[in-house]
């Protein structure tokens, strides 16, 4: 269940616990959803044992005797929430970050004193600085739209600017799942133009709007199964056994990170690092290898070693052809 739907269900419970009954139309307007989605949410409450009922000619409400159970947080859980608060603060403006921050603050408000102040003092020396992030307000808007359309099984009209195409394309897409990787959010979707599932980066979407057209989504779409053994996001349909050798200068740094699920590594007596992967496709891993410049040697496969050699030679040629060393 997505975070957006969890927040909506909590909002629905809050409305039903108020001093009045609510009609279907009023609840749908308050939550900003369709009648179909509202009845689906009410069904979730019923399965969870939330005792709501319908008063004839009045509407829906929850029995006054029903209250959400109190949250009793341990010290470790409180510290964990405070750490999440710092992470959310560092990502203000990203999809769901503000909502997550609000939810965490509400949970922390239930922690009694003096434990809350003591935990805050423990977290004071802790700081978080995230890696480079996408800076685009549209990403959050598109994320919210896709969440709603995935939940309702609704087709979207999308104008998308691919980095490899000269012009933007307008597509009708059936969104299946949202996925975060590295620095940005993506959506898995089917389109009327393509039979297979495609992956779209949210910040590349120029326009996005829901349509009145509905579709029946698969019972379960698994992003991990789609990605498979790709280095990061895009499988290419052929698996390669990759073997690399890193210099002592960067060996420790490289070995500290789990770059891929198939990663195997060992430290050589002279300080070098031997590392291997079984990767679907070579394009993504080629760029990663080139980031280590002359500190890495490609042992296998030959095709990958040749790609890396060509990219280094092209970079050196560009540098030599520019008086400033900058190719553009």
Going by the DSSP 8-state scheme, the letter that residue 240 receives in this structure is E
Position with higher pLDDT, 17 vs 216: 216
| Domain 3-62, CATH class in plain words | mainly alpha
* pTM greater than the 0.85 cutoff: no
Calculate mean pLDDT across residues 36-63.
84
Q: What is the mean pLDDT of the chain?
A: 87
CA R_g for the chain: 25
Distance CA 326, CA 328 (A): 6
- pLDDT value, residue 188: 96
CB 143 within 8 A of CB 97: no
pLDDT tens digit sequence for 240-265? 999 999 999 999 999 999 999 999 99
In terms of phi and psi (left: phi > 0; alpha: psi -120 to 50; beta: otherwise), the region of 244 is beta
pLDDT tens digit sequence for 120-151? 898 899 888 877 777 667 898 999 899 889 98
CATH 2.30.30.520 positions along the chain are 137-221
Residue 274's pLDDT band (cuts 50, 70, 90): very high
**Nearest to residue 244, comparing CAs of 269, 266, 271, 227?**
266
Calculate mean pLDDT across residues 43-63.
82
CATH 1.10.10.10 positions along the chain are 3-62
Position with higher pLDDT, 320 vs 227: 227
**95 C-beta neighbours (distance < 10 Å), count:** 22
- pLDDT value, residue 206: 95
| Domain 137-221, CATH class in plain words | mainly beta
Residue 200's pLDDT band (cuts 50, 70, 90): very high
Residue 98's pLDDT band (cuts 50, 70, 90): confident
Range name among 8-22, 55-69, 165-179, 215-229 with the lowest pLDDT average:
55-69
Helix (H) or strand (E) holding 244: strand 239-246
**282 C-beta neighbours (distance < 10 Å), count:** 18
Distance CA 202, CA 207 (A): 10
Give yes or no for residue 318 having a pLDDT over 80: yes
Give yes or no for residue 1 having a pLDDT over 60: no
Burial of 34 (0-12, 13-18, 19+ CB in 10 A): middle
- pLDDT value, residue 67: 57
- pLDDT value, residue 135: 67
Alpha-carbon torsion 108, 109, 111, 112, what sign? positive
Position with higher pLDDT, 36 vs 113: 36
């Amino acid at each position: 269940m997505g975070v957006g739907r969890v927040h909506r269900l909590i909002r629905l419970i809050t409305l039903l616990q108020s001093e009045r009954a609510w009609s279907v139309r009023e609840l749908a307007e308050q939550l900003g959803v369709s009648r179909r989605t509202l009845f689906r949410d009410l069904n979730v409450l019923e399965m969870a044992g939330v005792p709501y009922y319908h008063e004839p000619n009045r509407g829906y409400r929850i029995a006054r005797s029903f209250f959400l159970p109190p949250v009793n947080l341990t010290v470790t859980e409180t510290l964990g929430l405070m750490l999440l608060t710092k992470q959310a603060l560092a990502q203000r403006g990203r999809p769901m970050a503000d909502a997550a921050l609000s939810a965490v603050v509400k949970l922390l408000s239930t922690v009694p004193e003096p434990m809350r102040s003591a935990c805050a003092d423990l977290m004071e020396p802790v700081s978080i600085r995230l890696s480079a992030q996408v800076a685009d307000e549209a990403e959050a808007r598109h994320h919210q739209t896709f969440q709603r359309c995935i939940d309702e099984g609704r087709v979207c009209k999308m104008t998308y600017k691919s980095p490899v195409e000269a012009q933007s394309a307008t597509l009708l897409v059936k969104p299946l799942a949202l996925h975060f990787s590295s620095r940005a959010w993506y959506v898995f979707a089917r389109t009327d133009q393509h039979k297979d599932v495609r992956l779209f980066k949210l910040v590349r979407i120029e326009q996005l709007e829901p349509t009145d057209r509905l579709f029946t989504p698969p019972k379960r779409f698994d992003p991990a199964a789609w990605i498979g053994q790709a280095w990061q996001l895009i499988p290419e349909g052929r698996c390669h056994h990759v073997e690399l050798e890193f210099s002592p200068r960067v060996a420790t740094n490289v070995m500290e990170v789990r770059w891929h699920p198939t990663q195997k590594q060992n430290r050589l007596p002279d300080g070098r690092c031997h590392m291997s992967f079984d990767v679907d496709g070579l394009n993504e891993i080629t760029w990663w290898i080139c980031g280590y410049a002359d500190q890495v040697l490609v042992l296998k496969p030959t095709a990958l070693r040749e790609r890396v050699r060509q990219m280094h030679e092209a970079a050196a040629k560009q540098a030599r052809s520019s008086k400033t060393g900058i190719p553009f």
